[in-house]
Amino acid sequence: MTTPSATPDDKRQRILAAALTVFARQGVHGTPVPPIAAAAGISVGGLYRYFASKEALVNAVFQDTKQALATHLLTDLNLTTLDRPLFNKLWCRLADFARHHPDAFRFLELQDHHSYLDTNSRLSEWQLLMPLRQLIEQGQQAGVLSQHLRPEVAMALFWGAFVGLFKAQRLGYLELDSDDLRQARDACWQVLSHAS
């Protein structure tokens, strides 16, 4: 009995999954293509049939992973007004993504991608960031958030605090539990809503 060979889509997904894992653990700049091909179970030549270069591969991984984060974070949320319950949901969904998809989170947030991102990758990043920026602006206009911080600064504080927590855990400086995440969430809300 013969088993059916993998379809092109299956192989492409295998390559993307392998590349995500390898890039997340070894970085993009110092990682050649052969370890990715080996992790995907194909030849280097086979990988190049799907992606013309390492840059094409890393952009595909970035777009795929950024879309997964956007879907996880924003699906079925009412994004018309930022209030405390919505802020809590966003924080919890981000924590859920970071815990259940650690390679994806690390790849997206702990790498300096900008030197090789193409136009489509930059667009996928903006498609996630713009709704969040608009939420902050709406929260400021409604008086829910402090108007003393520019929206970009508020976003950087939120993302930076969150990424820093998971980086510290990954490096062994702390072990995050639910109470830690709840306290950090509350501290971020206090900063964003009462900045002076």
Q: Which of 134, 116, 131 is nearest to 63 (CA)?
A: 116
Domains and CATH numbers, the chain: 55-194 (1.10.357.10)
The residue-averaged pLDDT of 69-82 equals 91
- Taking the C-alpha atoms of residue 140 and residue 149, their distance in angstroms, rounded to an integer, is 9
The residue-averaged pLDDT of 80-106 equals 93
- Which residue type, as a one-letter code, is found at position 189? W
Please give the mean pLDDT across all residues of the chain.
90
Radius of gyration of the chain (CA): 19
DSSP structural state of residue 6: P
Residue pLDDT, tens place only, 114-125: 788 999 999 999
